Structure 1
Amino acid sequence: MVKINDLEIGDGRRFVLIAGPCVIENRDITFRTAEEIKKITSRLGIPYIFKSSYKKANRTSLNSFTGLPVEEAFAILKEVKEDFELPVLTDVHTEREIQKAAEVADVLQIPAFLCRQTELLIAAGKTGKAVNVKKGQFLAPEDMKFVVEKIESTGNNKILLTERGTTFGYHNLVVDMRGLEIMKETGYPVIMDATHAVQIPSAGGISGGQPRFIKTLAKAAAAVGIDGLFLEVHPDPSKALSDAGSQLPLNELEELLALIMKIDEIVKSEH
C-alpha cells in the first residue's frame, strides 16, 4: 500500500482515480475540470488525485503545443492543490526538473518513454515523493521489477506502476490484461491508464486515438482488479491542445466511474 497525504492506494478496498487534462492549457480549463471531477468523486466516494502535465516534452511534431511557461504552469498546479485540497500528479522528464516539480506535486510521474532512465528514476526516488512509473510501450510487464529496484535503492517505497498499452506494429497499441497481474507481483499498486492505451501514436504528425474504447479498457481492467484508474479528462477533447484524440469528455466521467465502482466492488469482495 502507498500512502499519499491521507489517501491510501492499494488498500484492497477501493480504487483511486487519477484524472485531469493531459496538459495545463490555461487556468480556466484546469480549474473547471478539477472542480467538476472533485464534485463527482466526492459524490461517489472515490479517492481522487488531480493529474495534469506542466509541460509535454515528448510531442510528435516540432509545432505541437508543449505547455505554458513553466512558472505559470506550476503556479496553476499549486492553486489547484490548495484551492481544492487535492493531491496533484505531474510528469518529470529530466533530473534538473525534479526538485522544482517536487515542491508542488505529491506524485512525480515518469513518462513511459523514460521508464528505463536510471538517473531520472533515482532522482525522483530521492525526493521522497510518491513516484508513478508508466510502463514503457516497449517493455514487458515482468521487466518493471527492475524499474522498481532502481527507485527502492533510494529508500523510497512509494511506488505506483501504470499500464498504458504496448506497441503492436506501427501506429497501434494493445493492452495485455495479463500484464496487470504480472506487475502486481512487485508488491506495489497497479494503475490502469485507459486513455493513453487508446492512442494511435504519430498519426500524421500528431497522436490520434480511438476514444470509444476508453470505457471498454477501463471496465476490463477493473474486472482484472486494479488499485487505480488513470484517465485524461477534458471538457471538450476535440479542442484539447494535446492528446485530443484520446481524452475522455468530462460529461461522460461520472457514468463511467459509477460502473467501474460496481465492477470493482464485485472483484474485491471475492478476496
Structure 2
Amino acid sequence: MKNIEVAGKTFGEKELFLICGPCVIEEEKIMMDAAERIKKIAERLHLPLIFKSSFMKDNRSSVEYYQGPGLEKGLRLLEKIKTTFDMPVLSDVHYLSQVKPAAEVLDVIQIPAYLCMQTSLVTEAAKTGKPVNIKHGQFIAPENMIKPVQKVEHYGNKNIILTERGYTFGYNDLIVDPRSFYELNRIGYPVVFDITHCIRRYGIPSADPAGGTRQYLGPIARAGVAAGIDGIFVEAHPKACDALCDAASQLDIDQLEEFLKPLIEIHYTEKKYRK
C-alpha cells in the first residue's frame, strides 16, 4: 500500500486518517464553527485530518434542493478555512471547467462516484498534480476501480485515494460488501470508507428522518475498519438535523469524538495483523 502526500503531510496505513466536514458548504459561521471543532477533535485523537465540504452538489434529486454556494464563493470559504485552521481541504468537481480553479485552492480533488469513469474529468484532475480522491461508483465492481486509477497514473500522478461508499442493491439501498475493501487495497493506494453516504436511503428527501439509517453508522464503520481501511470519511455538521443537505445521514459534531474512539482502537489492532 502506497502512502500519499497531502499538503506536505503523509497519509496512509500507519495512522487512521479522517476526511470530515459538512456535506455541502453553508453559511460562513456554520462552516467556521464546524472546521474549528472538527480540527480540535482530530488533534485530541491524533488523527490526520482533511476537511471536506462540497461547493456544489450537482446530483440533488430536485432543482428546488440546496446545491451549495457555487464554485467561486465556495472556494473562497474553503481557502479561508484552510488558512485560518492550517489544514488541507477537499471538495468535489463535476465539470472540466471547475478543475483548474479548484486546484488553485484545494489540497485534494474529489471525483464523485457517479463520475468515476468519466475519462476527461479524471484526467483533467490528474494533470493538476494534486492528490485525487476517486469515489467508487456504485455501478461497477471494486476491482474495476483500477481503470480510473490507471487514468490518473498515466499523467504521472501517484497521489491517489480510493473511497468506498457502497454498491447498489435493489431499490434505493447501498450495501457495503467487505470484499470491496480487499479488492481496493490490492490496487495499492490508501482506501477510505465513506460511512455517511452508504446509510442514505435514496429516493427519500435527505431532510426526512427516514432518509438515513444512522443506527447503522457505528456497526458499519467498525466493520469497515476491521476489514482493513486506512481512512474514515464522515460528514459532520454542528446541527445535523438542520443541515441543508443529507440532514438524515450526517453526524452531529458533538457526537464525533466518541464515535471515532473505537475506530482508532480497531485500526490499531487490525494493522498489527495486516499482511
TM-score band (shorter)?
A: over 0.9
Is 1:213 paired with 2:216?
Answer: yes
Q: CA deviation at 1:29?
A: 1.0
Mapping of 1:66-145 within 5 angstroms? Answer: 66-145=67-146
Counting aligned pairs with the same residue, the percent is 45
Change (3 A) 1:35 1:131: same
CA RMSD of aligned residues (A): 1.3
CA spacing shift, 1:24–1:170, aligned 2, 3 Å:
same
The alpha-carbon distance between structure 1 residues 61 and 15, as it changes in their structure 2 partners (threshold 3 A), is same
Distance 1:204 1:194 in 2: 18
Alignment check: 8 A CA contact 2:207 2:241 kept: no
Aligned length: 270
TM-score normalized with structure 2 length: 0.95
Q: Specify the code of the residue in structure 2 equivalent to 1:188.
A: Y
Quote the offset at 1:71 in angstroms. 2.0
Deviation of 1:6 after TM superposition, in Å, equals 3.0
Cα separation, 2, equivalents of 1:164 and 1:211: 15
- 1:105-254 mapped onto 2 (5 Å cutoff): 105-203=106-204, 208-254=211-257
The structure 1 residue matched to 2:4, chosen from 2, 14, 22, is 2
**In terms of mean alpha carbon deviation, does 215-224 or 1-10 score higher?**
1-10
- CA distance in structure 2 between the aligned counterparts of 1:196 and 1:205, rounded to whole angstroms: 11
| Greater mean alpha carbon deviation, residues 199-208 or residues 248-257 | 199-208
Q: Residue 266 of structure 1 aligns to which amino acid in structure 2?
A: T
What's the secondary structure of 2:109's corresponding residue? strand
Task: Give, as a single letter, the amino acid of the residue that structure 1 aligns with 2:69.
Answer: L
Residues of 2 paired with 1:168 and 1:206: CA distance?
A: 22
| C-alpha contact (below 8 Å) 2:109/2:132 kept by paired residues | yes
Q: Secondary structure at the match of 2:100?
A: helix
Aligned partners of 1:31, 1:16: CA distance in 2, in Å? 21
SS of 2:192 mapped into structure 1: strand
CA distance in 1, matches of 2:10, 2:262: 21
Q: Secondary structure of 2:187's partner?
A: coil
SS of the residue corresponding to residue 57 of structure 2 reads coil
* Runs of 4+ residues over 2 Å off in structure 1: 204-207
Q: What do residues 172-197 of structure 1 show as CA deviations (whole Å, max 9, x unaligned)?
A: 11000110110111111100001001
In the alignment, structure 2 segments of 5+ residues that lack a partner are none
Alignment check: 8 A CA contact 1:60 1:205 kept: no
Counterpart contact for 2:206–2:246, Cα < 8 Å: no
Does the CA contact (< 8 Å) of 2:222 and 2:263 recur in 1? Answer: yes
